Amino acid sequence: MIDILSEIIAHKRREVAGQKGRLSLSDLEKKLSTTADIPFYSMKGALENSQSGIIAEFKRRSPSKGWLFQTANPDQSGQVVNEVTKAYASAGASVLSVLTDEKYFGGTLDDLRQATAGVRIPVMRKEFIVDEYQLFEAKLAGASAVLLIAAAITPEECRRFTEQANQLGLEVLLELHDEGEVDYIGPHNSLVGINNRNLGSFVTDLQKSFRMAELLPKETVWISESGISDPGIVKELRQAGYRGFLIGEHFMKSDNPGQSLKDFIDSIVVRL
């Protein structure tokens, strides 16, 4: 079986190298230094104070499921992002996640810009981050948080990227996939996610979050990611200690993602 994550990371490194050739890191730094104050909304605070803890994701496609959501007219792409993410915020999302990988997930950095410009809640850049360059891009696009995937970087890179993100005013969600990655968690990682989907094979196992709960630091905010489609599971995960629940496919494959989220949150509240 092809290891999809390895393929994605190899492509991402080539992609970032190309971006640096067109606009250097120093140019990005200069651009950020001359940009007016960028609003920051705490993802950690939002999840700690939320009754539902839903992180609603704008996700166009996935390597395993194909297109979940697309627009026939590329000229209206930004409008679609704006409509969906605003609907998510209105429906009660605690945080938004926006996938910006284009080759495998159909997203773009412009999707992130559109989302952050239209809402007043935390927006996380969900990306395969392999270079500090992408952190500066995220900040300039208005993100309040970024995702770091342990399986995509070394422990030293994780520490360095986390520190750089914090210096830029970005919170970090550190994503783990198995018990062997717990050592990636450092003193500055206050948000820790467990991805129930294996990014090598794309097989989903919701029990992974329950198994990993015993290994996670109690002082961090725990987030369960992927494969969640039942409000009842959210209640069980909350009882296990989780405070955030990243959901994308369940909402994006519906005709009305915002309404789908509202119905989901209503069901959670009834069960609590």
Catalytic residue IDs: 57, 59, 126, 175, 195, 225-226
Q: Rounded distance, CA 184 to CA 189, Å?
A: 9
DSSP per position, 19-62: HHHHS-HHHHHHHHHTSPPPP---HHHHHHT-SS-EEEEE--EE
Q: Among all chains, which residue has been given the structure tokens 């520490």?
A: 159
Work out whether the CA dihedral 184, 187, 189, 191 comes out positive or negative: positive
Q: Rounded distance, CA 118 to CA 104, Å?
A: 25
Q: Token pair for residue 198? A: 């294996």
